[in-house]
Amino acid sequence: MELSGKKMDQEVFQRQREEVLAQWSTGKEVNFEEAVAYHKALPKSKVMAAKLAEGKAKGITYTQPRAGVALLQEHIELLRYLQDEGGADFLPTTIDSYTRQNRYNEAQAGIEESRTIGRSMLNGFPAVNHGVTACRRLMESVQVPVQVRHGTPDARLLAEVTLAGGFTDFEGGSISYNIPYSKDVPIATTIKHWQYVDRLVGLYEENGVKINREPFGPLTGTLVPPSISHAVAVIEGVLAVAQGVQSLSLGYGQCGNLVQDVAALQTLPVLAEEYLHKLGLSDVMITTVFHQWMGGFPQDEAKAYGVISWGAATAALGKATKVIVKTPHEALGIPTKEANAAGLRTTKQVLNMLKDQTFPQTEELALEKKVILAETRAILDKVLELGEGDMALGTVRAFQAGVIDVPFAPSRFNAGKILPARDTTGAVRLLDFGNLPFDEETKSFHQERIAKRGRDEGRDPSFQMVIDDIYAIGKGMLVGRPRP
């Protein structure tokens, strides 16, 4: 099959489908028509797209945790706890790392070992192994919409099982669940695999079932400049809508500087709409997702609460539709349900206190927005140019050329040439542009800002600055200043 951003051929899809459903025994449980009926019978309060639409209209910022354990009963208890004690507006099901690599045998071993020793040996819920019926048991045990969150390059079977299982939202995308999550998977491969997922969602939509799709915004979570993650979000959005997706949540991971983060949240839907329109794609519902700081956290719980709260405040002032919540255990390990609910409640307190306050439109904000818009457009226009108008083709070529480049990504299909560093106000800028297609004006803006920091710190910008920035929040700072 040749790569293109066009809608998948129905026959091709059906042929693949048989293979996909045969990858693990639970594939046999999937029956599309029956699944459509199941979804249609779900109360509106459990349908993600419906609740997101309501929130968007009312200007609400919803909360969602991350959570998943090996066994069904424990997973249900965990989610109910987060709903009841954490007040989570949306629930997740975080998938374990073996399932993410399609290693269902190892996931099975993890399930069995967890049963034997009585604690979860997996870092998430192995939904494929548990199968459709188990997923539905989960849906029926909670009151709010549930989303699949993972990091799976090839998530076709996972999507089949979980969507048939009643999940109404599916995270991920061909770039965002490849580049940060694998080493050896070509982008063309994940684009195809995710076109399958999006086409599946499109089929549900065509049958009157609303499924929300959410590209994973933060990528590697570590000093990713907004224009890079925005470019990826827009591409994945465009590719998804081409397959029939109707409801998109676009994500962005907090960088830490308020003005830059608010600017990022405000520009993200603008850019998505612009490129959807440009490519002649139909109108879809776009909402925004803000991730509290995704990089290294402080080990101390009190400090972690500070980081969490600052993320909540930024989400509220940036008017994100949803905020993904961290926990006071972040630096140390998968959180207990108590720690997870605590992170939610801290977040909610701040959101509530700020929900009626707005961040004023100022010159500084206008400048940040201008920069983000210009940079993202530069990348996206180059992608389209390289792809001769085709986003899928352009994406593969853009990664080859380093036109899109994600910092600290493990994938060998990512150029890995750019180096981000904070400026003196904590905004994430670029120290090395690699092959990003930025014009001279943009480049000198970054250079000046970083040079200013260098002067403030009395040192030349270098890789040491980047390392210091990686550690900074974990050590109680935002900007990684040299130790005095």
Note the residues at the interface with a second copy (CB under 8 A): 256-259, 298, 300-303, 305-310, 312-313, 341-350, 352-358, 360, 362-365, 424-426, 473, 476-479
Show the binding pattern over residues 63-92: x = contacts ligand B12 (CB under 6 A), - = does not. Answer: ---x--------------------------
CB atoms within 10 A of CB 404: 30
> Measured between alpha carbons, how far is 397 from 182 in angstroms, rounded to an integer?
18
Where do we find the tokens 């099975």? Answer: 108
Query: By CB under 8 A, is residue 422 in contact with other proteins?
Result: no
Interacting partner of 473 out of ligand B12, other proteins, a second copy, none (Cβ under 5 to 8 A depending on kind): a second copy
Query: By CB under 6 A, is residue 261 in contact with ligand B12?
Result: no
Min CB(182)–ligand B12 separation in Å: 9
Q: What's the per-residue H, E or C state across 285-296?
A: EEEEEEECCCCC
Provide CB contacts within 8 A for 231, sequence distance 6+. 376, 379, 380, 383, 404
Query: By CB under 8 A, is residue 110 in contact with other proteins?
Result: yes
> Measured between alpha carbons, how far is 147 from 163 in angstroms, rounded to an integer?
10
Q: Tell the burial category of 88 from Cβ atoms under 10 Å away from its Cβ (0-12, 13-18, 19+).
A: buried
Rule CB under 6 A: choose which of 97, 168, 176, 442 binds ligand B12. Answer: 97
Q: Which of 66, 100, 149, 429 is catalytic?
A: 100
Helices (H) then strands (E): counts for the chain: 17, 10
The answer to whether 126 and 165 have CB atoms below 8 angstroms apart is no
Stretch that binds other proteins, among 49-57, 79-87, 112-120, 476-484 (CB under 8 A): 112-120
| Catalytic site includes residue 364 | no
Report the sign of the C-alpha dihedral through residues 272, 40, 67, 313, in that order: positive
> Measured between alpha carbons, how far is 448 from 49 in angstroms, rounded to an integer?
43
Q: Which of 66, 156, 160, 171 is catalytic?
A: 171
Interacting partner of 346 out of other proteins, a second copy, ligand B12, none (Cβ under 5 to 8 A depending on kind): a second copy
Interacting partner of 94 out of a second copy, other proteins, ligand B12, none (Cβ under 5 to 8 A depending on kind): ligand B12
Show the binding pattern over residues 210-249: x = contacts other proteins (CB under 8 A), - = does not. Answer: ----------x-x---------------------------
Show the binding pattern over residues 372-411: x = contacts other proteins (CB under 8 A), - = does not. Answer: ------------------------------------xxx-
The answer to whether 290 and 312 have CB atoms below 8 angstroms apart is no
